[in-house]
Amino acid sequence: MKILAFDTSNQPLTVAVVENHTILSEQLINVKRNHSLQLMPAIEEALKQANTTLTEIDRIAVANGPGSYTGLRIAVTVAKSLAWAQKIELVGISSLKVLAANSLSTSNHYIVPVIDARRQNIYTGLYQRDAAGKLVEVSADVHIESSDYAKQLTEIEGTFELIGLDAPAFYETFKAELSDRVVLAPPTQNLPHASALAFLAQEDEAVPAHELVPNYLKLAEAEENWLEENPDHKGDDWVEKV
């Protein structure tokens, strides 16, 4: 199975083409750039370098959140448009899980990917490798105040590895609650790799292209406030064909 995978959910941009157990090409850029400008040319380049074309791709894998709202929408829009236009299978994978996949931790450790959500909040989740080395989600991805999450982790036995570009900024917060039960992943593991995303997507079930949307983990502020006052309208459909 040939997979085209990409992630623009935060500042790094990564695109890879993977065939079964082999990485054919991979790009990773981590400078402040414009994903809308860069993503399609990077996809074209990744396919070219892998000596393949879109028509030979069996599956598209995209990191669909959480992360920068705009970054998520660019990747998800490109992914669902390519998948729909060429009838290619489509899989959305958590941006946090992609980061967690960098960790080589064994089953005794918890992996805690961290993405800065501003105002001391983070997007995070709890992952672990099982005895067979497979990455499993222990608890769901959340948007949460960083020190609240650190407090929650004190209830769990074991050690925690913070991973991701934003992890160092929150290390002290976690250390304050967990002291030496928390460690930072080495900087070599802090960037998302589209190849890892592709490997994660091999086992997942494909979703219909129309249905894939970003997993923001947070409502727009206006929507949040409105739903607080109108709780009966949760899940209403607001868009109509005219």
**Given candidates 20, 21, 235, 238, which one binds another protein under the rule CB under 8 A?**
238
One DSSP character per residue, 59-104 reads EEEEE--SS-HHHHHHHHHHHHHHHHHHT-EEEEE-HHHHHHTT--
Structure-token pair, residue 181: 């039960």
Binds another protein (CB under 8 A): choice among 49, 52, 70, 107? 70
Q: Where are the beta strands (DSSP E) in 117-207?
A: 121-129, 135-145, 159-163, 182-184
Question: Which of 2, 5, 63, 80 contacts another protein by CB under 8 A?
Answer: 80
Q: Is 59 in the site for another protein (CB under 8 A)?
A: no
Segment near another protein (CB under 8 A); pick from 25-33, 40-48, 124-132, 170-178? 40-48
Q: Is 12 strand, coil or helix?
A: coil
Spatial contact of 7 and 194, defined as CB atoms under 8 Å apart: yes
Which residue of 86, 106, 120, 154 would you call a contact of another protein, by CB under 8 A? Answer: 86
| Segment interacting with another protein (CB under 8 A) among 152-160, 162-170, 192-200, 209-217 | 209-217
Separation of alpha carbons 71 and 215, rounded Å: 12
Sign of CA dihedral 162, 168, 174, 176: positive
Q: Is 154 in the site for another protein (CB under 8 A)?
A: no
Query: Taking Cα atoms as reference points, which of 141, 143, 7, 140 lies closest to residue 72?
Result: 7
Taking the least distance from each CB to another protein, the nearer of 31 and 242 is 242
| Nearest distance from C-beta of residue 12 to another protein, angstroms | 18
Candidate residues 3, 150, 197, 209; the one interacting with another protein per rule CB under 8 A: 209
* Cα angle for residues 102, 105, 111 (degrees, 5° grid): 70
Which is closer to another protein, CB of 2 or CB of 73? 73
Which residues contribute to the site for another protein (CB under 8 A)?
Answer: 34, 36-37, 39-41, 43-44, 54, 69-70, 73-74, 76-78, 80-82, 84-86, 209-210, 213-214, 216, 220-223, 226, 230, 238-242
